[in-house]
Amino acid sequence: MKKCCILRASPRKGGNTNALTDAVAQRLRERGFAVENLDLYDMDIRPCLACRECQRDWKAVTCAQKDDAQRMFDAVMESELILLASPVYSWYCTPPMKAALDRMVYAFNMYYGEEKGPSLWQGKALALVTTCGYRIEKGADLLTEGLARYCKHSQLRWLGAYGERHLGYGTVFMDEEKRERALAFADRLAEEV
C-alpha cells in the first residue's frame, strides 16, 4: 500500500485549505493510499538553526533540536507522496509550513556538511494544495515556483499544485465544482505516484 503524508499548515481547522485537502485525502484513500495528516499548527516545529548537526549521519534523518520535527521526518520518509497544504496570505505559505520546509531541506539533503552527500528523500513525489484571495496564477505563483525549485534541489518529483480562490468571508467557499476539481487532482496524483 502506498502512503501519503499530508503536511497541513492552515490555522483554521475547518477552513478552505483543509476542505480541499480533505477531498483530496478522501480520494487518495479510495485509490488505496494510507493517508497520514500532520497539522503543523498543532506541532512544535521550530525554525532551522543552520547548525548543520543533521549533516553528520548520511544514513539517518536527524536534527539537534528536540521538537516535533522528528515525527514529521519519520512520516515523510515512510511516504511515497508528500502533500503540502497551506493557504497563501502574502504570496507564500504560512509560517509553520516555511519552518517545516526549511527543516526538511537541511535534514534530508546531505549537501551542507564538509562533503556533499546524498538526498535521503530522492525520488519521492511532492505536490501542493492551496487557497488564496487572488486568482491562483497570481496569488500562489511564487509559492508554486519556489516549491518546483525546492523539488529540483532535493531531487524530488514535483507533481504540481492545485488551488482555488476564495472570494471573501461573506461567500461560500466549498462547492461541488471545487470538490470535483480536488478529486481530479487526487486522481492525477494517484496515477503519477
Q: Using one digit for the tens of pLDDT, what is the confidence trace for 35-77? A: 999 999 999 999 999 999 999 999 999 999 999 999 999 999 9
Residue 168 has pLDDT above 90, yes or no: no
pTM: 0.97
Helix axes 141-154, 95-108, angle to 10 degrees: 10
Domain positions in the chain are 3-192
Concatenating the DSSP letter of every residue in 152-178 gives HHHT-EEEEEEEEE---TTS----HHH
Mean pLDDT of 92-98: 97
- The CATH label, of 3.40.50.10680, 3.40.50.1780, 3.40.50.360, 3.30.70.3270, for the domain at 3-192 is 3.40.50.360
- Residue 175 pLDDT class (50, 70, 90 cuts): very high
Q: Is 2 helix (H, G, I), strand (E, B) or coil?
A: coil
Helix axes 16-30, 176-192, angle to 10 degrees: 50
Residue 123 has pLDDT above 90, yes or no: yes
Residue 163 has pLDDT above 90, yes or no: yes
